[in-house]
């Protein structure tokens, strides 16, 4: 079976690797090292999105709130917001689209400031996301924060994606909107590498020795796949990205391929 071959290939790759697969039709699960906490990179942004939509639902945060781009909030790219002019106004919804679709770091930090780091982490606990920790903002150079890391596990992120799929993360409408954001992901060099457009709703994460991609794949029998890897050998991230792309295609084929386009 493709999932067993994928598991073997992931386990044989040098470094700390993990894999989570869930057939969303049957509930069948295949996993390897899926409980190991790994440095989160940008996958942690999914938890910021989850807390934001919870706050929209409760009315704690106004979707139309205006936030101002300030020089002191600028951080290194990924993204584009840090390149925008001082004084530009954005809404929390704008920031979430930037954070998910192009993995914008400045947008992420503005949302963490708005929501409160402890509130995001409390929501992680509320959702039962064991091993998932938001301990600092991105590129946080403040004393006491610089050395901290954010963590994820393939299993817990898989469960978060399952909630979105089932329409159970905050609400059916909120889950639908979050799914749309994940479908708009612009980083396509991993899970979608050998697939057509609109087949994967996903979020990537990368740094030196780290490359993740986690998402929902719209096969005839839809499934969740989470590839989370860190402490990889220097320069091997590209090979892992290729393996993630090949593995996703193999899993898609095993799950019946992509649904035919309507009226095709």
What SS3 string covers 206-221?
Answer: EECCEEEEEEEECCCC
With beta carbons less than 8 A apart as the criterion, state whether 110 and 89 touch: no
pLDDT 10s digits, 95-116: 999 999 999 999 999 999 999 9
Classify domain 2-254 by CATH number: 3.40.710.10
pTM of the prediction?
0.96
Residue 145 zone, left/alpha/beta (φ > 0; ψ -120 to 50; rest): alpha
Residue ranges in the chain whose pLDDT is less than 50: 262-264
Q: What is the pLDDT of residue 252?
A: 98
**Separation CA 15–CA 117 (nearest Å):** 30
Mode of pairing for the β-strands spanning 89-90 and 210-217? unpaired
At 147 the pLDDT is 82
Q: Helices 45-58 and 172-183: crossing angle, nearest 10°?
A: 150
pLDDT for the residue 149 = 95
Residue 264 has a pLDDT of 39
pLDDT score, position 254 = 97
pLDDT for position 1: 76
pLDDT tens for 188-243 read 999 999 998 899 999 999 999 999 999 999 999 999 999 999 999 999 999 999 99
Q: Is 131 left (phi over 0), alpha (psi -120 to 50) or beta?
A: left
């Amino acid at each position: 079976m493709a999932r067993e071959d994928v598991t073997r290939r992931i386990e044989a790759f040098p470094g700390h690797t993990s894999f989570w697969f869930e057939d969303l039709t049957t509930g069948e699960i295949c996993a390897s090292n899926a409980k190991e906490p790994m440095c989160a990179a940008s996958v942690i942004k999914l938890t910021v999105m989850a807390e934001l939509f919870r706050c929209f639902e409760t009315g704690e945060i106004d979707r139309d709130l205006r936030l101002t781009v300030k020089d002191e909030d600028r951080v290194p790219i990924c993204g584009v917001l840090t390149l925008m002019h001082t004084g530009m106004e954005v809404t929390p919804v704008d920031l979430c689209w930037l954070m998910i679709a192009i993995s914008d770091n400045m947008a992420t930090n503005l949302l963490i400031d708005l929501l409160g780091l402890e509130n995001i982490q409390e929501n992680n606990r509320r959702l039962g996301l064991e091993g998932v920790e938001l301990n600092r903002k991105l590129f946080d150079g403040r004393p006491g924060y610089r050395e901290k890391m954010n963590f994820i596990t393939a299993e817990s992120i898989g469960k978060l994606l399952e909630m979105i799929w089932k329409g159970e993360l905050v609400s059916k409408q909120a889950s639908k909107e979050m799914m749309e954001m994940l479908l708009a992901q612009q980083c396509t060099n991993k899970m979608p590498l050998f697939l057509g457009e609109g087949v994967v709703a996903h979020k990537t994460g990368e740094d030196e020795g780290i490359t993740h991609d986690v998402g929902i794949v719209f096969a005839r029998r839809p499934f969740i796949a989470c590839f989370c890897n860190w402490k990889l050998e220097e320069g091997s991230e590209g090979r892992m990205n290729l393996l993630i792309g090949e593995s996703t295609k193999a899993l898609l084929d095993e799950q019946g391929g992509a649904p035919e386009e309507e009226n095709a």
